Amino acid sequence: MKSVSSIFACLIIGIFAILPGITSAQQNTDFYIPTAQPDRIILNVTVDPSTSMAVNWRTSSDVTESFAEIAIASADPRFTDKVTRLKAKSELLKWEDTAPANYHSQIFEGLTPGTKYAYRVGQGDHWSEWIHFNTAGKTGDKFSFIYYGDVQTNIRSLWSRVARDAYAKAPESVLMMYAGDLINKANRDVEWGDWFAAGGFIHSMIPGFPTPGNHDHYDGPDGKNVTSVFWRPQFTLPENGPEGLEETCYYSDIQGMRFISLNSDQAEESDEYLEKQRVWMEKVLSNNPNKWTCVTFHHPIYSPKSTRDNKRMRETFKPLFDKYKVDIVLQGHDHTYARGMAKIPMQEKGAVSGTMYVVSVSGPKMTGSNVEKAGWMDRSALYTQLYHVVTVDKDVLDFKAYTATGELYDAFELVKQKGKINKVIDKTPRNLPENR
């Protein structure tokens, strides 16, 4: 007579024999197989997220037509009788041994500021759930956003906890900012699959504001350094940047803050793209009606690692940040945490620029060697996964750095002062030593 455990084992083996698709999906290490059911649903910022919102999703390549439906959200489920259906733009992506897939996109336009909407995507018998998002409010309204340093490795297993804790802290955020290196190998679909799985439904509710890092680029067939083949099909971002840097160098205005992305990997590699971004950046900063300005890119102006020095970025862009009084610059790349204000060259000793520079890491890949406590740093950390919630309310910008387990690690305020640089109020938790 067989034991209960042996009978159970036989049943399990039998189930997997009958359903080979389960085992092949679980064992597949090359890619997540696309199907007719929409997946990888993600919202992205537009130039003005108070009146428009972009959404992307993926299906198998045999789904050549897909749709997005939207309505003002209501507790009455009959809101679905009032939806607007829009045919998506569809783009086929075939890449090496990755399963071909159609990537679909739609920009919802003519939306009402400060309003909760419900939307879904799909076609035929295959639709997503109804998902809520909020349009941005009007200029001057209080708002928060989330900032992540590098995600990069062990994404599904160890970055997911950071994304979930950040959402729990700031579910009403107007955007989620990624300071580059979203994954490790630019064109490895399984890593993008892990990134979407780790963020789950959060990606579909809070719009993304990603800037590409060096690991989001690869050597193209002509030898040029180019952004991942997945970047533009799966993200719909403002196309208001320099030619050749579409959807990697761009800006968005939200409730009185101008958010700007630079493609620092292209700037580091190419004099042409460095100069294009410098000229574009000066125009964007000189013609800025917003009270606050936030810039993000991957390679830090001041690196926490003593073996790294992004001199080209610093010499090209820091004079513009000083000239136009950029409030905060959010960066990645060095897999550690540091923040502080830097000195202004050629001015009296001790004068600072007024720009707060932050470098951070949200994923588990850490740097422990060649990291020194430099003079520009007011606070730093080693071997600490972090996320950041930034809240802007009129003349005050409140920055909080939380660990992956939800503890407040660092905090400061920037306060606008007429005719002066921002006042910094350090709010680091008392009696909390640096993680070094």
State the DSSP string of 366-380. ---SSB---TT-SEE
Looking at the domain 39-134, which fold is it?
Immunoglobulin-like (2.60.40)
Q: What stretches of 200-337 show up as alpha helix (H) in DSSP?
A: 231-234, 264-269, 271-286, 311-323
Q: Which residues pair with 284 in a beta bridge?
A: none
pLDDT (0 to 100) of residue 306: 84
Q: What is the pLDDT of residue 13?
A: 34
Tokens 């003002």, residue located: 72
Q: Token pair of 8, please?
A: 């159970």
H or E stretch including 104? strand 98-108
Q: Residues, the chain, total? A: 436
Please say whether the beta carbons of 403 and 435 come within 8 A: no
Pick the CATH number of 143-426 from 1.10.1200.10, 2.60.40.420, 3.40.50.300, 3.60.21.10: 3.60.21.10
pLDDT of residue 18: 32
What would the DSSP string read from start to end of 209-246? EEE--GGGEEE-TTS-EEE-TTHHHH------S-TT-T
Q: pLDDT tens-digit profile of 336-378?
A: 999 999 876 645 455 677 999 999 999 999 997 778 888 899 9
Q: Name the token pair of 429.
A: 């938790």
Candidates 233, 228, 230, 238; CA nearest to 261 is 238
Q: How far apart, in whole angstroms, are the C-alpha atoms of residue 10 and residue 160? A: 34
CA 168 and chain centroid, separation:
17
Closest by CA to 214, choosing from 264, 174, 252, 250, is: 264
pLDDT of res. 16: 31
How far is 407 from 397, CA to CA, in rounded Å? 20
Q: Supply the pLDDT for residue 282.
A: 98
Write out pLDDT tens, residues 111-146.
999 999 999 999 999 999 999 999 999 999 999 999
- Every domain of the chain and the residues it spans: 39-134, 143-426
Q: Residue 414 in contact with residue 340, Cβ under 8 Å?
A: no
Query: Which residues, at least 6 apart from 396, have a Cβ–Cβ distance to it below 8 Å?
Result: 413, 414, 415, 416
Q: What is the pLDDT of residue 222?
A: 84
341: β partners: 356
pTM, rounded to two decimals: 0.92
Closest CA to 150 of 200, 191, 119: 191
3-state secondary structure (DSSP) of residue 6: helix
Distance CA 164, CA 166 (A): 5
Tell me if domain 39-134 and domain 143-426 are identical in fold.
Answer: no
Q: Quick one: pLDDT at residue 3?
A: 44
> What is the C-alpha separation between 202 and 206, in angstroms, rounded?
6
Q: What is the pLDDT of residue 270?
A: 86
Taking residue 271's Cβ as centre, other Cβ atoms within 10 Å add up to: 9
In the predicted model, residues of the chain with pLDDT beneath 70 are: 1-31, 344-351
Neighbouring C-beta atoms of residue 324, cutoff 10 Å? 15
CB 312 within 8 A of CB 275: no
Partnered with residue 292 across adjacent β-strands are 257
